[in-house]
Structure formats: C-alpha cells, structure tokens
Chain A
Amino acid sequence: MKPRHLLIGFIVLLALAPLVLPTFQITLLNYIGLYALVVLGLVLLTGVGGMTSFGQAAFVGLGSYTSAYLTTTEQLPAWLAWSAGSPWIALLIGIALTAAVALILGALTLRLSGHYLPLGTIAWGISLYYLFGTLDGLGGHTGVSGLPPISLFGLVLDQGEKIYYLIWAVLLGAIFITQNLLNSREGRAIRALKGGQLMAESMGVNTFRSKLIVFLISALFAAVSGWLYAHTQRFVNPTPFGLSMGIDYLFMALIGGVASVWGALIGAGVLTMLKQWLQDLLPYLLGSDGQYETIVFGLLIVLLMQRAPGGIWPFLMRLVPARFKQRRLLREQSQQVAALAHRALPEQGQVILEARNVTRRFGGLVANNNMNLKIHAGEILALIGPNGAGKSTMFNQLSAVDTPTSGEVLFRGESLTGKSSREVAKMGMSRTFQHVKLLPTMSVLENVAIGAHLRGDKGIVSSALHLERAEEQSLLQEAKRQLERVGLGDYLYEEAGSLALGQQRILEIARALCADPCLLLLDEPAAGLRYKEKQALAELLQKLRGEGMAVLLVEHDMDFVMGLVDRIVVMEFGEKIAEGLPEEIQKNPAVLEAYLGGVE
C-alpha cells in the first residue's frame, strides 16, 4: 500500500462522514478542519520557517470580523455598496485586508530574532484582540450576529453537514498547495530559514522575502479559516480570537508535530477531542465542581512534550518502514530535461578578484592590515598562516560578508563595498563554510539544489500549483550532476546530516558549484578528509581550474596545498608576510619564522 492509497481512503472516509455521523460529531469535525487550517499556516511559519507566532488567532479574527461587518452592516460605505453583503466578496476584502495587515506587521517584526518575535506577536495579537472588543460597529463583547450563510453554485450552506464539505475541501486544498510549495525551489529557501539563513543568503536567497511570504501565507490561511468560522457559526464575538486561542493553535502545532504538514491535522484533531473528552469525562470522575480539565490538560501537554518533543506525527513516522519514506524527487532519466544555462567563464588569466589595501579593525584590534591580493581566472590561490592570523576575517572581506574598515575588494572589476552576499552570489562568487552549514534533515540532493537557487525564476504561485516542474527537474538534475562530479552520487536521497564530516564538506563544494560560479572560495575544504578523498578533491579542483574557474582556498594541510595550488599568500598578525609559488614559500625565511608560533 502506498501513501497515495492511504490518502484516497482518508478522503473517501471524510466524504462519507456526514452521512453516518450524528450532527454533534460533524460539528466537532468542522472545528477540527477550521483549526487545522490555521495550524497548517503555523506549521509553515513556526515549524518550517522557525518563526513562532502567538498572533494567528488575531488573523482568524480579522477574517471573521471583516466578513461579519460587511455582510451584516446596514450602512456600507458607498464605494462598497456593490458588494451587497455577499460573503464571497467579503472573503476577498478580508483576504486583502489581512494581507495588508500581515505585510505591515511582518515588515515591522520579522527581523526580530530569538524570543523577540514571539513576544512581538503576543503584543500585536493582544492589541488586535482588544480592538475587536472596543471598535465601534463591531458590537463590543457581545459581537455581531445574523451573518448570512455562504452559498455555492446556488447551494445554501446553512447547516453544519453542508458547510462541512466546504471546510474540508478548503483544508485539503491548503494542504495540497503547502506540500507543493515546500517541495520546490521557493520551498527550499523557506526550509533554509530555520538554521541556515547565512548559508541561504550566500546562495542568493532573499531570506527576508521568504520570511514575509510564509508569514503572509500563514496569515491568509488563518483569515480564510476565520471567514469559514464566521459563516459556520453565523455570529462572531472577540473571545475565540484572543491570546489564549493563539496559544491553543501553537499547542496544536506542537502536539501534532510542528514541522509536518499532516501534523497540523493530527494536532488539531487530538487537541479538540482531548478538550471535549476532558470536559465530558472529568466531572464524571472527579465531581463537577472545579475546573479540573484545565489542570489535566496542562499537565498532559507537559507530559507529551517531555515524551515526544517533536510531536505525534514524527513519532508515528518512526514506526513506518524506511522504504516508504524516501521520495524520489528526480524523474526517470528517459525523460528529456532541459539543462540550465551556463555563465560564460572569463578568459584565462584575467583578474577575477582583487583586494586593495584592505584593513579591518575591530575596536582596537587590527585583524587585517593593508592586505593586497589578486586571483586570476584559471588559478588556484591558497591563503595560509597560523591560527588567529586573520585568514577568516580576510575571507569574510573577500566574500562580502564583512566590509573593510578601509580599502576595497573588487570582484570582476566591481567594488564589493556595500554589496550583500546575495548580490555577490549573483555576480558569480560562491563559497563554502569553515563550519559546515547545511540543513541536516533535508536530503543531500535538495541541499545541493539550494545552490542553484539563482538559476531558477519561478515564483510562489507556480510552486504552490506545481506549474514549475520542468524548471524544478532542471535544477535537481543540475544538483545531481554536481553531486556525481564530486563523488557523492550514491547519496542523493540520504539525509545530509547523516554524512561524515568530510563528505559534508564535499557536499558544500557541490552546492557552491551548483551556483555556476566563476570564483570559488573554499574555507578549509580538506579538513577531516581521508587521504583518498583529498586526492579526489585535488583532482576535481585541478579540473575546474582547467575549465577556467578561479579558486581561493584557506587551508591548513600543507601537503594538500603545496601539491595543488599555483600561488600562495601567507598571513601573520593580519598582514601579508609572503606571496609566491609553493616552492618559494617553502624556503622563505619569514614564513618559516612565522610558523614558529604556528600550530600546523
């Protein structure tokens, strides 16, 4: 049995449910569907994107109240009179309003890191909630009643059993587009938000844009859920849009499995049933006085988080045999896949990167002093020197991660001053990291495909609807090609985190190559490699050099460096103390002296 069959069975069961279940159960299922839609947005935002929000309930309220106001008020402003109380028009306006609010709030708060973001969401969540209760025309704490039912193709959805189908169709649709989105170029950028932002930026991903997109999507899911809720209940008041509901949504997401799409459904289901069950059962067991259910509820959540911190869905998935889990992302070879366009490499010998009098101070400390160096196309240059000599700082100046205090770095004749690492990536510079930066739970193939981010241009909408499959195949083929080139062709679908450290370094090189660069910056590429692997790496780099690539590497392994590179620059105490061919460097007295303190 395949996952697809399970899904079809699930949908059939859902479709049959109203025919067999009593009204009360259907009402519960409606709630589960409505909650799951909100939680799905939260999974995307919190679980995948790493941004915790307590404010989702406020977005639900925004969707609800917009529709409630527009469909019930007697005095529509003239410019809205044409909508004539139609819930569908109200939905569109609600979506537009929510999008506008989300964009403003997102622009204000999404740059916050750590705990500031969740606290920020609490702040605007509470503010919006109080606004619902105090704004004129929204009925205060009694709310708005008498909302019309939604009608669809002449069918009036005025009963729980009827709107049930709409709710679940919307939810399944949302799950479908969420999965599509995550499984795409834009989706990889979103998945990199959690723990890989620095890396993603240097691969050309605009991480702030990605954050804003998931924030917007999650707000819209919430608003649609609110709209459905308003027309299911046919009345609204502020209570379900407060902070405590915002907290409940987070509970659902964490219980289900905060990083998994289906976890949203499980979490919403489990929490709704649990609350219902506690309300029914506890008074029977413990007597009717006292709110035992909140106590037991709180303690159960603590227990669950202690036992399964990842949530229920990942817990269940561990029971599923591994062969069902691996998804083949690549189509069979037989199908034609368009190759990606290549950048024309500069002519051999042309200056690619040049540092001119680069000085970098940190307070009183001079990390780089008046550094000059040039790298040419078709050349491998090594930057060596003892630990603490300022190689890493220099590397950061060259890759535009950091800006020199004085002096400048020119890349293909353009100054890098004021450029972001994203722009530099676009210009054809690609790098690896001293401390490997990859997404450990993502497959090797997808990790490498992040490198090709700038070589695709299909956006969110086509990703969500999977209209970009041809481009996606090209990107993945390219990733596969580069992985085969570096010798990791057998590990395409392994989790990147399960590779040995040396292999992870090689993976970074494949990822850098995927960006089709003309300059490769490698930070200690040979560290942790075995002898054979080092030889293979050296061969690869020689081949790239032959093709006209310029390579700069910072490396400690002198055997590796001396046999491979064309020229060497030696640094000590932030300054260049020697430059020349490997043979010269090995005899240079200043270098020998410097290595007195070296630990190589």
Chain B
Amino acid sequence: MNFQIAVLLGQDGVTNGAIYALLALSILLVFTVTRILLIPQGEFVTYGALTMAAIQSGHPTALAWMLLALMLIDCALDLRTMLQNGFNMLKMRWIGLKLGYALLLCVLIQTLPLAEIPMVAQALLTLGLLVPMGPIIYRLFFQPIASAPALVLLIVSIAVHVAMVGIGLLLFGPEGGRTKPFSDAGFSLGPVLLKSQTLWVILVSITLIILLFIAFERTLYGKALRAAAINRMGARLMGISPVFAGKATFAMATFIGALSGILIAPITTLYFDSGFIISLKGFVGAIIGGLASYPVAAVGALAVGLIEAFSMFWASNYKEIIVFTLIIPFLLWRSLTSRHVEEEEE
C-alpha cells in the first residue's frame, strides 16, 4: 500500500465513519429516551437517498402518498381520542394543519418540475416528506407498547424494519439509486485528489453534531429530552410526557437518517435493502460508546468506518467479519470492567 491509496482509503473510511457516527448518535438518543433499539434507522437512510434520487430524475415519488396515508391514520386516531375526551378546538386546528401539510407536499411533488429545482430545494422536499413520518411511526407502532419488556420493543423494532424494507421495494423498486454530487469541484492535496463530497459529508456531520450539542445543552426542549433519558419518572413528574419525548426523538432520528442518506447518495449506490447493514454499523459505534456516551460513540463509529475501508483493501472477503468481530473485544472489555448489576424486570 502506498501513501496515495492510504489517503484514498482514509477518505472513504472517514466519509462512511462520519455517517455511522451520525447514526450512532441517533440510535443512542432514541435508545436512552425510549429504550427502543431503532433497527429501522437504516431505512431512514435509504429512504432519504432513494427519494432524493427519484426527485432528481424527475419522478413524483409515491412516498408523498405514503405520508398522506400515514397522516390520515394519525388524524383518525386523533379524532377517536377526541371522541372519548370531548371536543378540543386547539387539537382540531392541529389536525387540520397536519392534513394540510401532507396535502401540500403531495401537490408539490406532483406539480413541481422536480428535476430542475435547485438541489437545496430537492433536499428540503426529501426531508419534508420523511421527517414527519418519524413521530407517526412512533405513535402507531411503539406508543401502544411503550412500557412493554425490552425484548418486545426490540422485536417490534425489527418487524417495523422488515415492513419498511418491503415498502421500500414497493416505492423505489429494486434498482439502486445514486445522486449528483453537491458540487463538482475537487481539491488536490499534494498528489491526491480529495473528493468534494467527502468534505461535504464531514462538514455537515460536524455542524449537525454541534447543533445537536447546543440543542441538548442550551434549549429547554433539548434538556427535557435529556431529562427523559436520565430519569423517566422524574421527567414525567415535570410534565415531560414519554409520548412527547418519543415523538421528538423519532423526528430527530428520521431527520438524521434522511440527511445521512442525502449526504452519501452521491458516493455510494444504495438499494432498498441496504439500510440494515448500515444501521448495524451505527450500532457497532453505539456499542463502543457503551450505549451511553455520545462522544465515545462518535469516535467508535469513525473507527468502524476506517477499519471497514482498510480491511476492504487487505482482506475484502473478510471485511464484514472483521467489522463485526471488532465489537467482541469491546464487549469483553466492558463485561470485565463493568459491575454486574442485575437488571430487575420492570
């Protein structure tokens, strides 16, 4: 291996690592707040990438109809609750707003010249379609079993993942999707060429991580989510409802996932079923972070990306084995250092 190849591999590794880091953060966030291991995190990535690809090729994506359908179910449930608890003008207006939003997006998708609008608008449309789905997914699938044993939550999480992969195939077809890079410029650094998309990924990831940090340290809503993660009962007593916390974290998880998809779509071809392995690598990062520490998880995920890139070069057949066996020493280390405190069944 010469220097040039090393830089090239390093570049790939850092790019993927940055994405895994974002996903690891999101997985951690959802886990600490809701106890759910969010297996469908990877589907948010593929949906983001494939929606962007569809928009760029000018297809009015059927995802808009899915959003509308989900929103209709959501609002129907709202109405049912209202029937039980009495009419509420504020909630009625909120229902109207939600339906209006979904309809507006459907109209936009159908009428806009999708392929011609600026890339920022395309990305915004993609996010606008996907992010509202997060809270609805939480509400439909997880909220009814919020206090179930962890295993049941995990199984439902996997089942949602299975269904979403199927829906992905239905919406986007079996072909992979790839999008145009954000900008065409490349940077040469000595003898090697840095891909501009790499810089984009790193830049956006770092910005996002900083923004998340500020949100969680400085705003009361962010603090409320942290509080819900630290002490659920304490948070409830402050009126921070688990439903609110669950929906908010799911919205954030879809946002991070979809954005990650948009970021890597110009570099990697993603298929409808690529999500699982991507989120697993995010999990590896999260595990290294001990499912608790955000910075360690981010560093761990970056390491996963790098190891993956370099093992691709040295032993491409064993790439996945290397990455996944990697966490066993970490688990081992954890099992030797942590005290064996019994987890009482709730």
Contact = CB atoms under 8 A, between A and B. Distances in A.
The reply, when asked whether chain A contacts chain B directly with Cβ atoms under 8 A, is: yes
Interface of A: 46, 50, 52, 108-109, 111-116, 118-120, 122-124, 126-127, 130-131, 134, 194-195, 197-198, 247, 250-251, 254, 258, 290-295, 297-299, 301-302, 305-306, 309
A113 B166 contact: no
Contacts of B341: 113
Nearest to B149: A309
Interface in B139-174: 141, 144-145, 148-152, 154-156, 158-167, 169-170
B299 to A, nearest CB: 18
A290 B331 contact: no
Contacts of A123: 284, 324-325, 327-328, 331
Nearest to B145: A306
Contacts, number: 141
Contact of A52 (B148, B151, B165, B338): B151
Interface stretch (B46-54, B177-185, B193-201, B313-321): B313-321
Contacts of B343: 113-114
B280 interface: yes
Given A116-B334, A195-B344, A290-B170, A134 B156 contact: no
Interface string B272-283: 000000001001
Nearest to A113: B343
B213 to A, nearest CB: 24
Given A126-B324, A290-B169, A298-B161, 18 more contacts: A52-B154, A108-B332, A113-B340, A114-B343, A116-B334, A120-B328, A120-B331, A123-B327, A130-B321, A291-B166, A291-B170, A292-B166, A295-B167, A297-B163, A298-B160, A301-B155, A302-B156, A302-B160
Given A116-B334, A194-B345, A298-B164, A309 B169 contact: no
A89 B159 CA distance: 39
Contacts of A127: 320-321, 324-325
A54 B175 CA distance: 29
A198 B170 contact: no
Contacts of B340: 111, 113
Contacts of B152: 254, 305, 309
Contacts of B144: 306
B335 A109 contact: yes
19 contacts: A50-B345, A108-B332, A111-B340, A114-B343, A116-B331, A119-B37, A119-B331, A123-B327, A123-B328, A124-B325, A134-B317, A134-B321, A195-B344, A247-B158, A290-B170, A292-B170, A299-B163, A302-B141, A302-B156
A294 B149 contact: no
A196 B324 CA distance: 32
Given A120-B328, A302-B141, A112 B335 contact: yes
Nearest to B286: A119
A330 B127 CA distance: 65
A50 B150 CA distance: 11
B23 interface: no
B159 A119 contact: no
Given A119-B283, A250-B155, A309-B145, A294 B335 contact: no
Q: A-B pairs with the 7 shortest C-beta distances?
A: A298-B163, A294-B166, A295-B166, A298-B162, A301-B159, A111-B335, A195-B345
B163 A130 contact: no
A291 B324 CA distance: 29
Interface string B289-300: 001000000000
Contacts of A197: 342
A16 to B, nearest CB: 35
Contacts of A247: 158
Contacts of A131: 321
- A interface secondary structure, majority: helix
- B interface secondary structure, majority: helix
Contacts of A258: 151
B287 interface: yes
A19 to B, nearest CB: 37
A130 B280 CA distance: 15
Contacts of A119: 37, 283, 287, 327, 331
Contacts of A108: 328, 331-332, 335
* Most chain A beta carbons < 10 A, residue from B291, B318, B324: B324
Interface of B: 31, 37, 141, 144-145, 148-152, 154-156, 158-167, 169-170, 280, 283-284, 287, 291, 317-318, 320-321, 324-325, 327-328, 331-332, 334-336, 338, 340-345
A297 B164 CA distance: 11
Contacts of B327: 119-120, 123
Nearest to B319: A130
* Most chain A beta carbons < 10 A, residue from B149, B154, B159, B334: B159
A250 to B, nearest CB: 6
B243 to A, nearest CB: 16
B296 to A, nearest CB: 15
Contact of A254 (B31, B155, B335): B155
Contacts of B328: 108-109, 120, 123-124
Nearest to B291: A115
* Most chain A beta carbons < 10 A, residue from B158, B287, B328, B343: B158
Contacts of B164: 298
B278 to A, nearest CB: 14
A46 B155 contact: no
Contacts of A122: 280, 283, 324
* Most chain A beta carbons < 10 A, residue from B149, B280, B325, B331: B331
A111 to B, nearest CB: 4
A298 B287 CA distance: 26
A126 B320 contact: yes
Nearest to A134: B317
Given A108-B328, A108-B331, A113-B343, A254 B321 contact: no
B117 to A, nearest CB: 29
A331 to B, nearest CB: 33
Contacts of B324: 122-124, 126-127, 130
B239 to A, nearest CB: 26
Contact of B320 (A130, A194, A198, A292): A130
A114 B158 CA distance: 17
Given A46-B151, A254-B151, A297-B163, A198 B145 contact: no
A194 B346 CA distance: 11
Given A291-B170, A302-B156, A305-B145, A130 B331 contact: no
A386 B290 CA distance: 38
Contacts of B334: 112, 116
Contacts of B163: 294-295, 297-299, 302
Contact of B287 (A116, A194, A251): A116
B171 to A, nearest CB: 10
A314 B346 CA distance: 19
A302 B152 CA distance: 10
B151 to A, nearest CB: 6
A46 B151 CA distance: 9
* Most chain A beta carbons < 10 A, residue from B166, B167, B325: B166
Contacts of A112: 331, 334-335
Contacts of A118: 154
A302 B143 CA distance: 12
B281 to A, nearest CB: 11
Contacts of A109: 328, 331-332, 335
Contacts of B149: 309
Nearest to B162: A298
Nearest to A128: B321
A119 B141 CA distance: 22
Nearest to B317: A134
A73 B314 CA distance: 29
A7 B37 CA distance: 39
Given A112-B335, A295-B170, A305 B155 contact: yes
Nearest to A109: B331
Nearest to A193: B342
B148 A309 contact: yes
Nearest to A201: B342
A130 B315 CA distance: 13
